Structure 1
């Protein structure tokens, strides 16, 4: 029996919150933000993310969420490829939640962040899956389409990637630049922070 999942798309107002710039050449009289400031902001962002405050987490990193889409379903096999898909063929998941965030700053720099939560019946399956998904070139769970948040199709490369294991759930976060100039360190921070978000 086919499972049809609804896609929830939410427009998020910037509300004047995305004040800090994504790239080192952005506006502001103080010049480039040092690398250390990203580390400090990442600490606060992780705390907000663990509490389920997605908007606040991104604000701590200096960006605002422009649009987001969420899809909840159970078809891990049909939404994966490579060795990851082979794993699901042997070990079905119990749920799949996918979130896509379009984020940006006031200078026109933008990025897209994918967050995927995969849940298994037991911890052993989750640990086994974590070993597969973290291996470079092993495939992936397909992120949601960029079209859901008003962007062209984004090719996720896993250059900016983070995963977290929490009991029977694996959280996979990936980020890619979408417009302007987004520093790689910030893209890495976005994935590390987004991977702390609790499953919807």
Structure 2
């Protein structure tokens, strides 16, 4: 991955462009949403952003059940297209230190998905998810620890060629479930979705079970 700010224990960045600036700026514009941080100032959210915030918890529950269209609908979004592919070998579909890891510890299965969603505010978002199944839980834990570090490479996400050309690691999340590592990234497909919107997309997508 590219040189980016450090991530926290869940693999998220601890400082993201507009999100970091929000801590010090008095007014932050987020994807058409105006947030005033001054004392006693009102916080104004448009209906699309407000619905996404309210629907995030229920959206994750739908994602955990594998209900893809319903997941995005609970955010007030709409799924436009979904493509998935399965591989049996992770080595050819990875790069950097992560690829070298797979040469020593081959995966059992690799599923990748690319979905495009409309956020209801005039933007479309590309969300790519990879499910990597390892032979042992310890290997899965080691893999997650590696991919969560900057500069170590990654699985080549579906819809990305060459690696890093679209999904740069800026909007990233990962999840560990025993022998399974889930990696999710998002990127603008059209328009100018906010960092908060892109982060919501990966937070939710990482909850999907493997196909």
What TM-score, normalized by structure 1, do the two folds share?
Answer: 0.78
SS state at 2:91 partner: coil
Equivalent in the alignment of 1:11: none
Q: Which runs of 5+ in 2 are unaligned?
A: 1-29, 34-43
Which stretches of structure 1, 4 residues or longer, exceed 4 Å deviation after superposition? 33-37
Q: Deviations over 1:47-80 (max 9, x none)?
A: 1100111111111222211111000111200000
Q: Deviations over 1:71-114 (max 9, x none)?
A: 01112000000111111011000000000001114553111000
Shift of 1:31: 5.8
Equivalent in the alignment of 1:55: 69
- Counting only pairs closer than 5 Å after superposition, residues 1-200 of structure 1 correspond to structure 2 as 23-24=31-32, 32-33=46-47, 38-145=52-159, 155-200=166-211
Q: Deviations over 1:20-71 (max 9, x none)?
A: xx9426xxxx962597754432111101100111111111222211111000
2: distance between equivalents of 1:34 and 1:60?
11
CA contact (8 A) 1:61 1:190 kept: no
CA contact (8 A) 2:52 2:74 kept: no
Question: How many pairs were matched up?
Answer: 170
Q: Structure 1's 38 and 100: CA in aligned 2 closer, same or farther, altered over 3 A?
A: same
SS state at 2:174 partner: strand
Shift of 1:143: 1.2
What TM-score, normalized by structure 2, do the two folds share?
Answer: 0.74
Shift of 1:123: 0.4
CA contact (8 A) 2:119 2:125 kept: no
Q: Which runs of 5+ in 1 are unaligned?
A: 1-21, 148-152
CA RMSD, aligned part only? 2.3
